[in-house]
Amino acid sequence: MENCLFCKIIAGEIPSYKVYKDENVLAFLDIAPCNPGHTLVIPKKHFQNMEDISEEELTKLILGVKRVGNLIKNKLGYQGYNIMENNDPVAGQIVPHIHWHIIPRQDGDGIELWPQSKYEEGEAEEIIKQINT
């Protein structure tokens, strides 16, 4: 896509710190990392979000995510990592090109997961009914 920031990175028009690449996927360091080594993994073909990408292309992408996660954990010595995909602007997607964040984690790094709550009486049943109709 012509004005897509990530497509410009793929084309080499914008520099990046490349972590991994193959014929389908490019992974590069996030410019605003949560922890050192925070990496974005993107398909080389442009897809805006999860609804746009085919299952075949998504499989290629998630295999790239797995490879990069292994590199981050094994080469940088992190204890683990979070994998996150923000789908659409309301969910925090800033660049409209599907991408997965791999966020390296250590004990005590200060990163907190999202808040959790509980369903009200009957709420879960109503949600299931709406999804399944």
**What averages of pLDDT result for each successive group of 10 residues across the chain (133 residues)?**
91 96 98 96 97 97 97 94 96 96 95 90 93 92
Q: Could you tell me the pTM of the whole model?
A: 0.91
Instruction: Please list, in sequence order, all residues whose beta carbon lies within 8 angstroms of the beta carbon of residue 54, skipping any fewer than 6 positions away.
Output: none
What is the pLDDT, as a whole number, of residue 56?
Answer: 97
CATH number of 5-131: 3.30.428.10
Residue 29: the pLDDT is 98
Determine the pLDDT at residue 115.
86
C-alpha to C-alpha distance for 95 and 105, rounded to whole angstroms: 24
Structure tokens at 127: 């949600």
Report how far residue 74's alpha carbon sits from residue 79's, in angstroms, rounded to the nearest whole number: 9
Residues 91, 48: contact at Cβ < 8 Å?
Answer: no
Would you name the residues annotated as active-site residues?
Answer: 99
**Residue ranges per structural domain of the chain:** 5-131
